[in-house]
Structure 1
Amino acid sequence: MRNKNWLLLVLAIMLSAVLVACSDGGDTTEEDPGTDNEETEGTETDNEGTEGEEAAGEEKILRIAETAEIPSMDPILAEDSSSIQYQDTVYEGLYRLGEDGELVSGIAIKEETLVEEEGLKWTFTLRDDAVWSNGEPVTANDFVYAWQRAIDPENGSFYAPYLMNGVIKNAQEIAPQEEGVEATMKPEDLGVSAPDDHTLVVELEKPTPYFESFAAFPTFLPLNQEFVEAQGDQFALEVENMLFNGPFVMTEWAHEESWELVKNDQYWDKDNVSLDGISISVVKENSTAVSMYETDKIDRVGLNATNIDQFATSPELISIPENVTFWLKMNQDSANYSEYMQNENFRRAIAQAVNKQAFIDTVYGNSSKPANYLVPEGFVSHPDSSEDFRAANGDFLEFDLEAAQGYWEAAKEEIGFDEVTISFISGDTDTGMLITEFFQNELETNLPGLTLELKNVPFNERLEIQKRGEFELVFSGWGPDYADAISFIDMFVTDGPNNEMGYSNPEYDKLVKQVKGELALDPAARFEAMQEAERILLEEDAALAPIFQRERALLSKPYVVGMDELNPFGPDYSYKYVDIQK
């Protein structure tokens, strides 16, 4: 990148400071990277002693399992880790995440990106050898069309307004998220243009330290306008309704059962793609997936507390930390639900009545960490001191049964109840069942008079329930969408699309607005403002109940190479760089 002024150096330093950890996702049970999930995924192998030649003529097919169907293959509708993972595998945007988790060239040649006007104008130079799977060239107009389609309110993208508003010029005026505010501009007014087939120009509203990360995120993938419009409302619903430009193409999609990917022989960098294909099966029961691994039907499998001890001494056991935190989301929306969750003592009681280490031992049985925070440990560090985000903020809402029961009695008195029933939503996998059973026993035992009404639903349905705000208590989690702590902090602004629980605090909102605006040129003050926002959310308001930072325990065949780490944000793995070396 050719920087034209000192601001760009500041932005580069801020970005490099946060590219340090890994995102959520995996092999056998997965979820949202920038979204919710509870399962344990297959994550990594140590790869030692796996060098060698592939048997002559044998295809290199990676065989894995997922616990749920891909929610969507339409880039503008991706809001979960599974959709993001497989869209990243069959599409390619301006940049992609490389083998070391750093941003590298994709359709755009990263070294030729030009940033001008104090960070407000980005010019991307596109390679001339990238084509769609029908042989047509990938052009700058494919990006312009895709981004305009994404921000068009009529197309129902969840992420486009969330990511673009206040960042890309005119996005806020095209798709305002504030209730009662009408659009004053049209999608074609978005600050993105194509002077020629191989030049894309993006205009920003203000300097944005994390904008470069957007260039690798699915919302910003290109689309072939003629093809998409020809598919109409069938686009991306079946294999025949998709066109690909990434390392792999999807050849089969048996919904709720399996899907198949094969190497894209028209991909511009196909010579650096080692796998011939990826075969994915939907397997909800962890025991079934483990059996498939043991009988050599899949190459990786996640483990949970019911079986991890069985493989404690296995050389194929891998454990990988993630930049993913999970919590109990408590719906405080007075328009939809009762007064219980609106009571601060009620929320504090729930938040501090859970033995987090016992949860990890019971459900996962691995080295995951109890979380008394929102922003994960090891994800971002202070730009001046290099201290981890957690160093200054420490812990909030730790397990404290005595304190929890004191808050519980105070809530009973303030609200006026002796017994109460609230709904609890979790997943329908066997891990989801373990989660449900744990929280039912823990909360009903520790908070006398509380009854949980249980509902276990598929991942897709749980996402929709949360989006509609139709819950009281739900187990949920988040992995970063881009390389900045604001990916977590921005979730809980008043009426924000990821808030979903009616939380509102004007001071919190003010801090987030400053972080995304006036503090862009002051990295230290910006970082500290995010720390203060987290403190308000948890210490002052007890808005949600943090539970744990996930670590994945899995079994991985020694011949699987290039899946040693999770990406720091976005898709969990970059399958472009994975290999089978038997």
Structure 2
Amino acid sequence: MGNKKLSSLVLLSLSSALVLAACGGEGSTADSSESAGANGSDQVLNLIESAEIPTMDSVQATDTVAFTALSNVNEGLYRQGLDGTVELGIAAEDPTVSEDGLVYTFTIRDEANWSNGEPVTADDFVYSWRKLVDPASAASYSYMMDGVIANATEIIAGEVAPEELGVKAIDEKTLEITLTSPVPYFKDLLTLAMFFPQNQAFVEEQGDQYALSSDALLYNGPFVLANWDAASLSWTYEPNAEYWDKDAVKLDAINVEVIKETSTALNLYDTDAIDRMILTGEYVAQRTGDAEMHTMPTSSVFYLKFNQQREGTPLQNANIRKALAMAFDKQAYADVVLQNGSIPANGLVPEKLALDPSTGEDFREQNGDLLTYNAEEAKTYFEQGLAELGVESITLELLSDDTENAKRSSEFLQSQLQTNLPGLTVTLRNVPFKVRLEADTSGEYDIELAGWGADYADPINFLELFQTENGNNKSGYSNAEYDALINEARTNVTDLDARWASLLAAEKILMEDAGIAPLYQRSYAVLQKPYVTDLGEHLVGADYSYKWASNSGTQNVD
């Protein structure tokens, strides 16, 4: 998920790779009024985000902030439960599946409605899914249906019309889906935002304003958005009165503010203005031993992405890329800059995501450390690369976000790279999250500090990112052998051991090419008030579920 945000074979036991860290309980020493929200209700939470929501169009969203919002105001056929396991969403029951494992027939709940009272129908899925794969949409996540839903590959390539996609409305509440080949993790895909429905009449009525403000959206999930547009630095989640499971929703409101400085957020937390925050850097050490702090593991891996598409860029040189990838001390970065439990990454696939289908060994442990910090080797590669380019020095720009932590990260990397690679100058460009995404899409960067969090618990969800034709691969990295291995893994669902071997080999090629430079696997150091209960934290998919969250309001007053 990009940052986002939106990957096991243990394909057959995906839910085991999900994690909940729902911190709750009693015993706050604050006055009871301090846990109440601005509207006077005790059932209010005040939260923060690190960036704006770029879009609320489920077809166009690519980042973790949008995916979190979408997954709390919308719902697919399935959703992640509080404990991260997959449970029924607006599907009334598990589907009937044909003997060959290719045709799924779902019944949509009779009580599933949009926020305007109209029923959610099978046609809403047909419309949204066709829109996702339509080349005219240029949707980055169209690849999630590529090789999964029948005819998706041909539609994305422009060879057949979107109407040929293997999804059909049998009647208003019956949806038939035909797969290209059996997909053991298909149920998990159906929890993701790009598989959500959209109401065609409403979308077309809104035109080019669709999903750019809270009033230009319909919702079929636990909450609706209020007071939001694409430039908003704040928004509110309110209960959706039309949600089929509205009785499970306890909160009256969730107020969200975009706060990019950890120091500002900490002041708000300590004055009870917000109920939860993520600590970074030296602030983690300051709160060591705090009973309100816990560690939230994630599947997100961050890396330097090298833009090889710009004409004449030195990043087309493999030795330059290898030098850059090996020239920064990842452990020091985790210990000094992050200080939140994050760990160095020496491959793309994260720890504890996926297990060998035969041995049960973790993918990361099995493939080992593939691209590690080594200043001496980095210098040698750099000198070789400069000689091959016929130059004595190069200048490269590092693109990153404008949050406090991103700025500190950029400065650390700049210092490490310039110190360990004489002849290299690194300039910094820190921009708002939305601007970085736009620069990524347009290719207006040299090196980008980027990241990916698993949409579902399988290594392919990471490794397919850097296939030549993948919509998320905007770096220009291309390797025919790598592409072939990913295609083998995507289509081979019968010989799971062979599939696993393909994925292991593909990651090794990506690292040998220094297609990217892995940096760290993220954990969050979270401060959360004791009265915040049942706020779901997930290892894959959307980071958070608010459906079951509440403000317990239980206080111990001196």
Aligned-partner residue type, residue 419 of structure 1: S
Cα shift at 1:382: 0.8
For 2:346 and 2:435, locate their aligned partners in 1 and report how far apart those are by CA, in whole Å: 28
Please tell me whether residue 286 in structure 1 is matched to residue 262 in structure 2.
yes
Q: Kindly state the Cα deviation for residue 338 of structure 1 after the two structures are TM-superposed.
A: 2.7
2: CA distance between counterparts of 1:247 and 1:51?
28
- Structure 2 equivalent of residue 570 of structure 1: 541
Q: Note if 1:531 corresponds to 2:508.
A: no
- What amino acid sits opposite 1:87 in the alignment? L
Q: Which residue of structure 2 lines up, in the alignment, with residue 102 of structure 1?
A: 85
- Partner residue of 1:121? 103
Given the alignment, which residue of 80, 99, 107 partners 2:63? 80
2:550 pairs with 1:579 = yes
Paired residues for 1:426-441 under 5 Å: 426-441=400-415
The match for 1:553 among 501, 505, 525 is 525
Contact 2:28 2:530 in 1 (8 A): no
Q: Which residue of 1 aligns with 2:219?
A: 244
Q: Does structure 1 conserve the Cα–Cα contact (< 8 Å) formed by 2:532 and 2:551?
A: yes
* Aligned equivalents of 2:123, 2:481: Cα separation in 1: 41
CA–CA distance in structure 2, aligned partners of residues 566 and 98 of structure 1: 10
SS at match of 2:537: coil
Match of 1:167 in 2: 148
What is the Cα deviation at residue 492 of structure 1? 0.8
SS class of match (1:350): helix
Verify: 1:520 aligned to 2:497, yes or no.
no
1: distance between equivalents of 2:14 and 2:320?
35
Structure 2 counterparts to residues 288-327 of structure 1, below 5 A: 288-327=264-303
Query: What is the rounded CA distance, in whole Å, between the counterparts of 1:350 and 1:521 in structure 2?
Result: 39
Q: Any gaps of 5 or more consecutive residues in structure 1?
A: 1-11, 24-42, 177-182
Map 1:104-253 → 2, pairs under 5 A: 104-110=87-93, 112-160=94-142, 162-176=143-157, 183-253=158-228
Q: What SS does the corresponding residue of 2:418 show, helix, strand or coil?
A: helix
Cα deviation for residue 363 of structure 1 reads 2.0
Q: Secondary structure of 2:170's match?
A: strand
Question: How far apart in 1 are the matches of 2:65 and 2:233?
Answer: 14
Relative to structure 1, the CA distance from residue 21 to residue 247 in structure 2 (aligned partners, 3 Å threshold; closer, same or farther) is same
Aligned partner of 2:5 in structure 1 is none
2 CA distance for matches of 1:128 and 1:50?
42
Q: Among 396, 421, 446, which residue is 1:447 paired with?
A: 421
Q: Say which is worse superposed, 249-258 or 540-549, in terms of deviation.
A: 249-258
Displacement of 1:528 in angstroms is 1.8
| Residue in 2 that maps onto 1:40 | none
1:399 aligns with 2:406: no
Taking the TM superposition and a 5 Å limit, the aligned residue runs for 1:472-487 are: 472-487=446-461
**Deviation at 1:16?**
3.7
Q: Following TM superposition, by how much is the alpha carbon of 1:361 offset from its aligned partner in structure 2, in angstroms? A: 2.2
Q: Distance in 1 between matches of 2:473 and 2:177?
A: 28
Q: Which runs of 5+ in 2 are unaligned?
A: 1-7, 554-558
Matches within 5 A, 1:318-357: 318-333=294-309, 336-357=310-331
- Give the SS at the match of 2:316: coil
Q: TM-score, normalised by structure 2?
A: 0.92
SS at match of 2:227: strand
Amino acid at match of 2:384: A
Contact 1:45 1:316 in 2 (8 A): no
Q: Distance in 2 between matches of 1:116 and 1:270?
A: 33
Change (3 A) 1:244 1:572: same
1:491 to 465, 468, 487: 465
Does the 8 Å CA contact 1:148/1:187 hold for their aligned counterparts? yes
Most deviating of 296-305 and 491-500? 491-500
Note the C-alpha offset of 1:51.
Answer: 10
In 2: Cα distance, 1:116 partner to 1:208 partner? 13
Give the match for residue 458 of structure 1: 432
Any idea what SS the aligned residue of 1:326 has? Answer: strand
1:377 lines up with 2:377 in the alignment: no
Aligned-pair CA distance for 1:150:
2.1
Q: In the TM superposition, what whole-angstrom CA distance separates every residue of 1:199-239 from its partner, at most 9, and x where no partner exists? A: 10001111223222221111111112221111111111112
1:296 positional shift: 0.7
For 1:359 and 1:307, how far apart are their aligned partners in 2?
A: 15
Q: CA RMSD in A?
A: 2.1
Distance in structure 1 (CA, Å) of the matches to 2:458 and 2:300: 13
**Cα distance, 1:117 vs structure 2:** 4.0
Q: Is the contact made by 1:73 and 1:83 (CA closer than 8 Å) also made in structure 2?
A: yes
SS of the equivalent of 2:59 reads: helix
- Residue identity matched to 1:290: L
